[in-house]
Structure 1
Amino acid sequence: MALGSEARVPHLYFEDGNIVLSARNSENCTQYFRVHRSVLAKHSPVFADMFTVPLPSTVDEYDGVPVVSMAGDDADDLEAFLSLLYNPEDISQILEQWDFTWLLLAPCKLAKKYLVDWIRNMAASQLKKSWPTTAAGWFSFVDDEKKMEFRDCVQAVSGRWDPDWDDVPLQLRSLPDPASSILLARECDAPSILPFAFLDLLRSHALYENKFNLSPDDAHRLLVARERIGDWFNKQADYCHYPWAMAACGSPKPCQITLLRTWTLLSDTVCREGHVLRQVESNGYHQAGEMCPECETKVRNKVGKLQNSFVAQLDTFFQLDK
């Protein structure tokens, strides 16, 4: 489509429509939506108030119908928004998609502007269902990610679908895209998902450039978080006190070696991933049976306390408490 051109949007251009909305897309093409005032007013108090004021006799017309220029609204965003107003049932299918955060970002942006609360409320509800708010919830998602990676690896190596995995897609969950989740949470007022969404984005290592169109404030939060987490972790390096300085059982081997390796892996996780949220066993900080039961309990408690403290301070690390 040529720059500066214009076009009607077929599925949102009704012959009996009594108002035309116009907006430009990213290619500077003016697009026209012939819609019904009653539909807009039903969903949006902003439109309802707008239509209570009679249009001036000098108002521009398009195809014999009054036209309102939607200054500041992108035509593609407006299309997604109006589509939901005419087909509210479609949002249920969108919420089931793996990329629902991207698909609902534009509608929620305009729903916030025009006070269409049901779109924002449904998006916020799905976000809250999709993101963990505790360390245990994080572990659940990470375990599922590992299972999916293994499943995909088996399929890639074997060149076929392994029958043992037939029921797995119905059981496993993965986290939504973190960047679009943050953007969507800002539009639909779902701040509770932000700590773990920022954490997930941090572990993607995309720290030094804002590829995701985050706001300047949120981009800055991401940049400074690793340093804040590193400073916090260094204060936890209590090498002179139990259990990091010596094994609980008093034996130098193998508990002491495993103990030191566990702390080294903790440090490595913080450097690479920006957090200490890995399982203590099962390919986490150490394997089961590598320490005596007494040392295992002490280390598990120590790591558990670190993890709980870390989660409790996520808001601070990402400056979400400001």
Structure 2
Amino acid sequence: MSVNSDDFCINITNDPDLYFPDGNLVILTRDEVGNHTYFRVHQSILLKHSKALSDHIFPDSPSPVRDLYDGVPLVEFQEDPRDLNTFLKFLYEPFYVFSAAPIQRGDPDIAFKMYGALKLADKFSIQPLKDTILSYIREDWPLTLQAWDEREAFYSRRLKNSPGSTMDDVAPEPASVIRLAREFESQILPVAFYHLSRLPVNATYGQHNQAPRYARGVRGYLLSPADREKASLGRERMLRWIVDRMESLMLDTWQCKGDEGCHVHIYWRVVVLHRSVIRSMDVLSTLRSMRSHKLERGTSEPVEDAVCHDCNGRWDQLLNDARCDFFNSLSSFFPDL
């Protein structure tokens, strides 16, 4: 049904999943353009999961005169109908089979899709739902370097096995994660900001057009000016860190035990590394790709630049150590998160 006027048209609908004929309560929500969606639910189900939710609807104060809709009491929520639909599906799941689960493990866009439902779970103290959503998000934003590498490899495999997809279809987007993490999971903010900092400032989520399918985007409208500034400052700090680290460890002190002149080749490796970091803005991936033994490619063949076996081993160890130290220093690149 719709209501028309000279200036606008408001759609009025009952939620197709959550309008039960025997429900004893109707919840009204409106979307951003004013369309009405009604949910007819059972107070007993709401009370089972959350006394705070039931108290919000039926406070202990003297009962006010309530409007009715379809013969039962009507209450209004300010949340978006899509968020309320997802939230209520979790409450009904043990008793009602839906055509699709409200949340799927492995969905790369969980932080964006579930933000509203997570806020409702927090508002009404439904801890199991909060824990479920946050546990799925933590999988995509690990706090150890090994787990980070495993997730990056996982996204690459997923993209390879998904013809016609882009990286935005198979990997999480940082701005929605940052928005959520600021309220509910602050420990993942450094890795989320690292990912944001390695993307071009004009990378728009889902709008790559001529860009390669491995390009990744950002929902820039979710970022505050302060977030953008932190990403820029973090990018600058990371570049300085890698320049200082590589020069102090290699150029000033490198000596080849076999006196084969390896320091010249090491110098050029550092030059290539700096250039690659500036081009990609991805320190961790660049350090990994610059190792002389490309284990991640399934081979142990050294690069062809006449560096001796001993110097290659030292080089690889220095890069591995730098990657670990860099990852463990992420919070220092983005202070005051």
- TM-score range (shorter-chain normalised) is 0.7 to 0.9
1:224-274 deviation per Cα after TM superposition (whole angstroms, max 9, x unaligned): 2212222333433535x6455644236465x33431232123313432343
1:48: which partner in 2?
A: 54
Structure 2 segments unaligned to the other structure (5+ residues): 3-7, 165-169, 205-218, 294-300
Of 89, 92, 105, the match for 1:83: 89
1:182: which partner in 2?
A: 178
Structure 1 segments unaligned to the other structure (5+ residues): 157-173
Q: Secondary structure at the match of 1:262?
A: helix
Q: Secondary structure at the match of 2:33?
A: coil
1:275-311 deviation per Cα after TM superposition (whole angstroms, max 9, x unaligned): 4213756x43545434212212322232233222211
Of 44, 65, 70, the match for 2:72: 65
1:313 deviates by: 1.5
Whole-angstrom distance in 2 between the partners of 1:15 and 1:120: 29
Tell me which stretches of 4 or more aligned residues in structure 1 moved more than 6 Å: none
Q: Percent identity?
A: 28
Pairing 1:214–2:214 present: no
Distance change in 2, residues 1:15/1:54 (3 Å):
farther
Whole-angstrom distance in 2 between the partners of 1:128 and 1:266: 31
1:49-107 deviation per Cα after TM superposition (whole angstroms, max 9, x unaligned): 2325266352222222221111x312222122112221268768622434333332221
Whole-angstrom distance in 2 between the partners of 1:100 and 1:64: 37
CA contact (8 A) 1:276 1:306 kept: no
- Letter in structure 1 aligned against 2:172: P
Whole-angstrom distance in 2 between the partners of 1:85 and 1:212: 31
Q: Which has the higher contact order (CA 8 A, sep 6+)?
A: 1
1:35 deviates by: 1.2
CA contact (8 A) 1:135 1:277 kept: no
CA contact (8 A) 1:127 1:185 kept: no
Pairing 1:119–2:119 present: no
Of 323, 327, 333, the match for 1:307: 323
Distance change in 2, residues 1:139/1:56 (3 Å):
closer
1:162: which partner in 2?
A: none
Q: CA RMSD in A?
A: 3.2
Distance change in 2, residues 1:3/1:108 (3 Å):
farther
Distance change in 2, residues 1:295/1:302 (3 Å):
same
1:314 deviates by: 0.6
1:208 deviates by: 8.2
Count of residues in Structure 1 that have an aligned counterpart in Structure 2:
297
- Bigger mean CA offset, 225-234 vs 47-56: 47-56
Distance change in 2, residues 1:111/1:220 (3 Å):
farther
CA contact (8 A) 1:180 1:212 kept: no
Q: What's the TM-score once normalised by structure 1's chain length?
A: 0.77
